[in-house]
């Protein structure tokens, strides 16, 4: 019994830094608010960690938008090409046909020319499949990396994130890189009209259905958010009328060490072995690319303490990226019994006892709860800023959300919502998941003019 009590105490000690008190979460919220102000002010902006990038999007949709477009979505594990038909809401509304292409490590970590040539090849293949060659169409490029924009159709890549490292792209206008690839490949059908961050795309597409949607949030491979800011607060732009959507690039929050007291040794290990050490610290505590690795680091320590897996650190457990984030979703699922959790571990080559599976589940729950709470602290900072901007006592606002982790994890969304309510009680914050209806066949449903 004494041994069990000792073990329990050890586990509590290991997991303690992940259990954030309300006070700590309020600290995160106010730190985020401070970094937002740094990023918006002219004198502090050049050194800001949360970059607060102007997007040149000045309004959310009003539902009267119409037309046919091609959209590209580049920013994570997959690359998607879409045809988007925006019709009358009472008619067909928004219809989308899309095709997903996987991107190999060689393509995302090779040369920029290879990457952009590959993108054009995928678009061309898609156009051919849908009988669209020879038809010039406006193209919107959803590019989910930090870009410094000076107009809607231009953006200099500031840095790669999320495992991308294609050479010759940082410091270049990615729209120009795409146009040049189209010329090299002889595709003259593409009229690139807009470069948008995925957060902005999400805010806009949710905004088409809900006018209160003025925030976009992504929790997938990485995490980021955007929101409608008053022009007068965007000091680097001279215009002071109206509003503009700001791409926060909040994944970099903490890169100036402002929340190092919250960062655990496990986070440090994950960071150290990542492709971008010291960068995107907030993202690394929240998003899909990293949660499985944090869990693995904790399991290794618990095994070293002889509390797990009979104290044997197997070869498998030492394998980097052994656990995809889907593993957390599966293990934390309320409908899964211990036997099933155990078989997930067995499938990964980890032989576990009943006690082991209970503990693994506890670790997963702890890591994903912290992720959701940290994310909520960021959202709370944003909704409160919007409320203050508008000098309102209460604000009703919607957050448009996309990203597989947010959508598929059994508890993530619920914890975000409940924590935002506590941290920003004067705001009535709703969340709306991006849910564009994707059609299989474009030609059968939409008359191509
Ligand atoms: P991206 O952010 O790359 O555009 P997604 O939104 O699909 O794309 O996010 C991909 C991330 O979602 C991956 O990091 C993956 O680990 C994670 N993921 C995939 N399936 C699940 C799941 N069932 N539960 C939680 N996370 C998942």
The total of structural domains in the chain comes to 2
Residue 92 Cα to ligand 1 middle (Å): 29
Residues 235 and 134 in one domain: no
Q: What is residue 440's predicted lDDT score, i.e. its pLDDT? A: 53
Question: Of all helices (H) and strands (E), which one includes residue 397?
Answer: strand 395-402
Catalytic residue chosen out of the listed positions 73, 153, 198, 255: 198
Residues 15 and 95 in one domain: no
Catalytic residue chosen out of the listed positions 33, 73, 80, 255: 80
pLDDT digits (tens, 9 = 90+) for 154-165: 999 999 988 899
Q: How many residues does the structure list for the chain? A: 449
- Residue that terminates a domain, selected from 196, 227, 262: 196
Which atom of ligand 1 approaches the CA of 404 most closely? Answer: 6
Tell me whether residue 198 is one of the annotated catalytic residues: yes
Residue 180 Cα to ligand 1 middle (Å): 31
Residues 363 and 295 in one domain: yes
Give the SS3 label for residue 372: helix
Question: What is the extent of the structural domain holding 151?
Answer: 67-196
Phi first, then psi: give them for residue 429, nearest 5 degrees. Answer: -100, 115
- Ligand 1, residues at Cβ distance < 6 Å: 75-77, 220-221, 288-289, 324-326, 329, 403-405, 408-409
Tell me whether residue 436 is one of the annotated catalytic residues: no
Q: What is residue 78's predicted lDDT score, i.e. its pLDDT? A: 81
Q: What is the mean pLDDT of residues 418-424?
A: 98
202 falls within a domain: no
Residues 83 and 23 in one domain: no
Which atom of ligand 1 approaches the CA of 198 most closely? Answer: 4
Residue 178 Cα to ligand 1 middle (Å): 26
Give the residue, out of 220, 280, 291, with the most ligand 1 atoms within 8 A of its beta carbon, to mutate for a pocket test. 220
43 falls within a domain: yes
Residue 449 Cα to ligand 1 middle (Å): 36
429 falls within a domain: yes
Q: Are 323 and 270 in contact (CB under 8 A)?
A: no
DSSP state letter for 348: T
Residues 44 and 109 in one domain: no
Residue 157 CA to residue 154 CA, distance in Å, equals: 10
Residues 43 and 77 in one domain: no
Residue 358 token pair: 């209970």
214 falls within a domain: no
Residues 249 and 383 in one domain: yes
Residues 84 and 168 in one domain: yes
Q: What is residue 438's predicted lDDT score, i.e. its pLDDT? A: 61
Residue 408 Cα to ligand 1 middle (Å): 8
pLDDT digits (tens, 9 = 90+) for 323-334: 999 999 999 998
Q: Which residues contact 440 (CB under 8 A, 6 or more apart)?
A: 97
Q: Give, in degrees to the nearest 5, the angle at Cα 27 between 23 and 30.
A: 135
Q: What is the mean pLDDT of residues 276-300?
A: 97
Q: What is residue 163's predicted lDDT score, i.e. its pLDDT? A: 86
Q: What is the ipTM of this complex?
A: 0.97
288 falls within a domain: yes
pLDDT band at 77 (very low <50, low <70, confident <90, very high): confident
CA dihedral sign of residues 154, 157, 163, 166: positive
Q: What is residue 445's predicted lDDT score, i.e. its pLDDT? A: 44
Q: What is residue 393's predicted lDDT score, i.e. its pLDDT? A: 97
444 falls within a domain: no
Tell me whether residue 37 is one of the annotated catalytic residues: no
For residue 318, pLDDT over 70 is answered with yes
Q: What is the residue-averaged pLDDT of the chain? A: 93
CA dihedral sign of residues 181, 182, 184, 185: positive
Residue 256 CA to residue 137 CA, distance in Å, equals: 43
pLDDT band at 442 (very low <50, low <70, confident <90, very high): very low
Of 230, 160, 151, 130, residue with least CA distance to 195: 151
446 falls within a domain: no
Q: What is the mean pLDDT of residues 84-109?
A: 86
pLDDT digits (tens, 9 = 90+) for 15-70: 999 999 999 999 999 999 999 999 999 999 999 999 999 999 999 988 888 889 99
What CATH code is carried by the domain that includes residue 171?
A: 3.30.420.40
How many CB atoms lie under 10 A from the CB of residue 8? 11
What CATH code is carried by the domain that includes residue 303?
A: 3.40.367.20
Phi first, then psi: give them for residue 136, nearest 5 degrees. Answer: -75, 125
């Amino acid at each position: 019994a004494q041994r069990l009590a000792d073990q329990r105490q050890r586990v509590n000690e290991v997991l303690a830094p992940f259990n954030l008190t309300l006070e700590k979460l309020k600290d995160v919220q106010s730190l985020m608010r401070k970094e937002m102000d740094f990023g918006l002010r002219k004198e502090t902006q050049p050194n800001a960690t949360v970059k607060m990038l102007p997007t040149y999007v000045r309004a959310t949709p009003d539902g009267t938008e119409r037309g046919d477009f091609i959209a590209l979505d580049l920013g994570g594990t997959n690359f998607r090409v879409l045809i988007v038909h925006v019709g009358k809401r009472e008619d067909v509304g928004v219809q989308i046909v899309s095709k997903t292409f996987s991107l190999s490590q060689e393509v995302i970590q090779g040369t920029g020319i290879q990457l952009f040539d590959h993108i054009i090849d995928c678009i061309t293949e898609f156009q051919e499949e849908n009988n669209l060659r020879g038809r010039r169409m406006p193209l919107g490029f959803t590019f989910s990396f930090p870009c410094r924009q000076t107009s809607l159709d231009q953006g200099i890549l500031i840095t790669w994130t999320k495992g991308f490292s294609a050479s010759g792209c940082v410091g270049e206008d990615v729209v120009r890189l795409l146009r040049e690839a189209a010329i090299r490949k002889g595709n003259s059908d593409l009229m690139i009209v807009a470069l948008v961050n995925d957060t902005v795309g999400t805010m806009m597409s949710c905004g088409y259905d809900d006018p209160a949607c003025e925030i976009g949030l992504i929790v997938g491979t990485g995490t980021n958010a955007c929101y409608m800011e008053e022009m007068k607060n965007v000091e680097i732009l001279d215009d002071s009328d109206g509003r503009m959507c700001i791409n926060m690039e909040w994944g970099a929050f903490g890169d100036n060490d402002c929340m190092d007291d919250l960062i655990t040794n496990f986070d440090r290990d994950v960071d150290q072995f990542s492709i971008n050490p010291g960068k995107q610290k907030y993202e690394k505590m929240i998003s899909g690319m990293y949660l499985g690795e944090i869990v693995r680091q904790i399991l290794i320590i618990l095994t070293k303490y002889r509390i797990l897996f009979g104290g044997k650190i197997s070869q498998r457990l030492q394998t980097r990226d052994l656990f995809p984030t889907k593993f957390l979703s599966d293990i934390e699922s309320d409908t899964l019994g211990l036997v099933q959790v155990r078989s997930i571990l067995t499938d990964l080559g980890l032989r576990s006892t009943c006690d082991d599976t209970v503990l693994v589940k506890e670790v997963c729950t702890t890591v994903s709860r912290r992720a959701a709470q940290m994310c909520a602290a960021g959202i709370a900072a944003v909704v409160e800023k919007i409320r203050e901007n508008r000098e309102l006592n209460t604000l009703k606002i919607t957050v448009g959300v996309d990203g597989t982790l947010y959508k598929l994890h059994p508890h993530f969304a619920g914890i975000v919502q409940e924590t935002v309510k506590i941290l920003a009680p004067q705001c009535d914050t709703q969340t709306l998941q991006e849910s564009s209806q994707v059609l299989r066949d474009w030609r059968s449903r939409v008359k191509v003019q």
